[in-house]
Structures are given as structure tokens and as C-alpha cells.
Chains A and B, each alone.
Chain A
Amino acid sequence: MLLEFMRDDHRACDHLYTEAENALADKKVDEAKKLFGAFYRATNHHFDMEEKELFITFEKRTGMMGGPTQMMRYEHQQLRALLESMLRSLNEEKYDDFFGQGESMMIMLQQHNMKEEQMLYPMIDRALSGDAELMIQRLKDMPQ
């Protein structure tokens, strides 16, 4: 239930990044900046949904404070730093750096998403049981 909602959001973020990367590869710099901005906001919003709502609820319900959610927070921190570097490279017109950082970011992000989809979200779904719909609505209502 929640797994599907969050997985779809992962895919939507992936789509935005590939569009930005493709635009830059086609030398459409303005379009690339706009699309990367959208990806940057969407990904940070996704991390916020997890850190400010989902993980806290999960930790309260299960008592698992230092486990997988903590690991995911660490990874968010690293990915946020990468997104900042990429934004800087794009604004400073260092496009080779942008592509190089993008390669690391994509592998890191995909591994991170995979861990969430394979392990964490199913655990959260079980912990939420009947309240998954309510949680999804709360996540949808979060301001971007």
C-alpha cells in the first residue's frame, strides 16, 4: 500500500532526473536547469516525507530507533550533499562535473531506493497495518 505510493514517487524522481540529464546532454541548458530544479525539489520533498512523518511514526510504533530508519537518514544526508554539489556544478557551468557527480548520485540513489523498497517500506506497511491510507493522505498533504 504505502510501498506502492513511495515506489511511484521514486520513479517520478528518476524520471525528472533523466529528463534533466538528457536535456543537458542535448545542450539545452535552460531546460536542464529547470528540470534539475524540479528533481532537486521532488527528491528533497521525498526525503522530508520520510524523515518528518513516515520514519517517526514507524519508530514510535515499533520502538526501532537506531535501525534501518537511521541508516536511511544517513544516506539522505549524503544524497542531499550530492544534490547540492550537482546544483553548484550546473550553475557554474561545469557540466562534465555535473555528469560525473550525477553518475555517483544515480547509483547511490538507486541502491538507496532499492533498500527502502525491498526492506523498509514492507516493514513500515506492516507496522501501519490499517492506517496506511491515512499516512498516505498525510504525506500528500505535506507542503512541497
Chain B
Amino acid sequence: MFNGLSLDQAPPISVVLRFFLTLPVFGLILSLFMIFFPIEILTPNHPFSLAGIHLLFLGMISMGMIGALFQMQSVLGGAPIPSPLGNSIIIHTLLSAGILALAGAFILQLPELFIIAAVLLGSGIVYFAQILLPLLLGKMGHDTLKGMRFALFSLLITAILGVVMASSYANGNFENTHAAIKASHYSIGLIGWVAALIIYVAFQVVEMFYVTTPYSDWCKNNVKRILGISLLLKVIWLFTALQFPWVFDIFIALLLVGFVITTVKRLRSRKRRVSDVSIWFWMMGMGLLMISLLSYGALMVRHYEPLEAMSLIAFALFALSIILGMMGKIVPFLVWFHLNAAGYMETPIMSNIIPAKRLKMSFLLFGFTALTALLSPFFPLLLIASGLSGVVLFSLLLFNLVAAAKLYRNVLATGTRFTFEP
């Protein structure tokens, strides 16, 4: 019986949706946090600020990226992640519980919670890496797979450094190397995991979705080398307390500026001219990355604390913008793909799964949330406005995702399936 096309290769839709659905939930928690504790969140190294940062980078950005990796591995890698349903439940549960424990540990300052968070998050990430990394080892032709390997390896190192720091917080005993570990933790996490994965995904999807000229082979071959070498040298510099470790930030920043310019050029000269909200998210993401780099540059010239917060907020929003834009495309496609491949005659078209109007609304809300968050280091009460806007944004996102999942279930339950013998 013919019952689908390459469906065997794709993970069940619930695998990816599980991670995507968690993103707006953590988004809502963070937004409420921003409404009630704006000053604390904007105070560098305040426990509430650290809780907020981890809710954002782990609960939202990493959740979205890990969900996407489950899908991408099956499409790009040819060899899907084994037992995707069971493994995704294990990883998702460990990460979700770990993120809540870590945020709770920072807020409540409970040593036991730091240990619990370290165990849960450490094991979740190590478990994920030990499943996916072997599939990405060996000789691979595809640049995005090589980028995924680099990003995953960076995530693993970030997690190990995070576990070391969590034990310091639990014991209240900070070694001399604490500052170096912390700087390495966020540098490798932000650049090696988040930025590298987005760049290598861009190499694939920008050309594929919008029909643009491909990124040059030089870019595809050298981005991970430049990022890898710069990060490695920066870590060595940090641990040996050598002077001017920020020199390596300049190389990384120049590469990211190149990425922004190249991507914007490609998107502007794309062959598909049809308006698409995901392109707006990509463009906004590129703008936010540029703001992040410029404010970091300004910070180097003149140490004015709000610039540091602005740079970090803009960087997180850059990643979030790309993730939200891609989710608006991937989720309807997955619903359509799974139903259509299973032969359901009532399979809706993509634009009826998440209507363009709701996607445009989420873009506008994201724009307002981003603008107020960006300005909040200078006008802290704006973080309350950002939090309020975030509540609406993530409620809408949650509604879109739940509605798409419900539509999928309804067709499965009531739809007519077309089958034939070949």
C-alpha cells in the first residue's frame, strides 16, 4: 500500500511541536517576570537577571533550535535521529525541568536547586549530543551538517561550563577561574551555538525558501573555522589571563557583519518577490544583530553599562526573530506534509493552517516587544511595556501552534484517507 512519501524518514510531528510549543510557555513566564521585576532583570549579574537570561536562551532560543534540529537532521542528514519520539520526550523533559530548576535556583538562591538544574540540563544536553553527534561525525558533503556539528559541539562545551558554574553557585565557592569560565560559557554559547547554527541554517534555507543566489563556498567553508579559532584563542586568553581577549571579539564581529550584509543582499535580490512574513522576520533579525554588534562596539570604546545590556538583548532578539519567522513557515508545512503524505483528502493548504493575518500580527507584536526591550536599558520601565507586549505575542504564538496541532488532530480523527495499491 502506498501511504506516503519519505514519511518514514521524517520524525513524527509531535517531536518538533513539543519543543516549539514550549517556547511560548517560557516566553510567557519571562514576560511576566519582566512586568513584575524590570529593575532587577536589568541589573547586571542580579540573580533575577541571570534567571531571565537563561529562560530566554535555554527556554526559548535553544528549545526552538533543538526542535528544528530534530527535523533538519532527517531532511539534510539522510539518517534520522533514532527513536525520535522517545528520545525527544526524554530530552524535552530533562531540559524543561532543568530550565525551571535553574531559573528557580537563581530566584530562590537555593543551592540544592542549582545541583538539580545542573544534573537535569547537563544530562539533557549530553543525551541529545550523544544521539545526534555520531550521526554528524565522519565525512559529510553538506555544509549545514558540518555547521550543525560545530554548533552542537559548542552547546556541549557551554553545558559543561554551565555545570561547573552551577556547582560553584551551589557551594557558594567561586574559584579564581570563575570569571574566565563565565566569559567562556557565554561566548561559546552565544557565538558557537546560537550564531553558528543560525548562520549555517541560513546558508541552506535562505537560498531554498526565497530562491536567492547561494552563499559563496568561501563563506560555507570558513565561517566555522573563523568562529572556532577565535573562540578557542579567546578561551585560552581568558584562562591564562592574557591581555586584550576582546581582540578575538573583533574577528567574530567582523564575520557577523559580513553575514548580515551578505544575507540582506541576498534577501533583497531574491527571485521570489511574493511578500512573506518570514522575510520580514529575517530582515528584522539581521537589523537586530547589527544593533547588537554596534552597541558592543560602542561599549568597547566607552564602557557605559546600558550598552552591554542592549547588545545582549539585541542578540537574543536576533535569534528569536529568525526562530519565530522560521516557525511560521515550518509548522504549517509540517502539518500539511504529514497529513498530505498520509493521504488525507481534507489536508488544508499551508496558508489555512496559520493564516497570514495572524503571522503579520505576531510580527508587529514582536517589533513592539523588541523595540521597547532594546530601549529598556536606558529607560528601565519600558521593560514593563515589553513584558506586556510579550504576553500578547507569546499568547498569540501559543494559540497559533495549538490551533495548528488541533487542526492536525481533527483531520487525523475525521478525515478521509486516500490509499491505493501501486
Contact = CB atoms under 8 A, between A and B. Distances in A.
B274 A96 contact: no
Contacts of A118: 76, 78, 141-142
A100 B341 contact: no
B237 interface: no
B141 A25 contact: no
A108 B273 contact: no
Given A74-B6, A75-B6, A119-B78, A22 B272 contact: yes
A122 B141 contact: yes
A104 B271 CA distance: 17
Contact of A78 (B208, B211, B341): B341
B340 interface: yes
A118 B72 CA distance: 14
Interface string B337-368: 10011000000011110000000000000000
B351 A103 contact: yes
Interface string B229-272: 00000000000000000000000000000000000000000011
A77 interface: yes
B5 interface: yes
A15 interface: yes
Contacts of A22: 271-274
A122 B141 CA distance: 10
A18 B6 contact: no
B78 A114 contact: no
Given A74-B5, A74-B6, A77-B5, A25 B274 contact: yes
Contact of A75 (B5, B78, B272, B274): B5
Contacts of A104: 333, 336-337, 340, 349-350
A111 B275 CA distance: 21
A21 interface: yes
Contacts of A103: 329, 332-333, 349-351
B209 interface: yes
A32 to B, nearest CB: 12
Contacts of B275: 25
A107 B333 contact: yes
A101 B204 CA distance: 22
Interface residues of B, number: 30
A18 B5 contact: no
A91 interface: no
A110 B78 contact: no
Contact of A111 (B2, B4, B75, B273): B75
B211 A96 contact: no
Interface string B380-422: 0000000000000000000000000000000000000000000
A100 B271 contact: no
A14 B141 contact: no
Interface in A20-70: 21-22, 25
Contacts of A25: 273-275
Nearest to A110: B208
A29 to B, nearest CB: 15
24 contacts: A18-B271, A18-B273, A19-B271, A21-B272, A22-B271, A22-B272, A25-B274, A25-B275, A71-B9, A75-B5, A77-B5, A78-B5, A78-B340, A99-B351, A103-B329, A103-B332, A103-B350, A103-B351, A104-B340, A106-B211, A107-B209, A108-B337, A110-B208, A114-B76
8 nearest CB pairs, A to B: A100-B349, A100-B351, A74-B5, A18-B271, A110-B208, A78-B5, A103-B350, A18-B272
Interface of A: 14-15, 18-19, 21-22, 25, 71, 74-75, 77-78, 96-97, 99-101, 103-104, 106-108, 110-111, 114-115, 118-119, 122
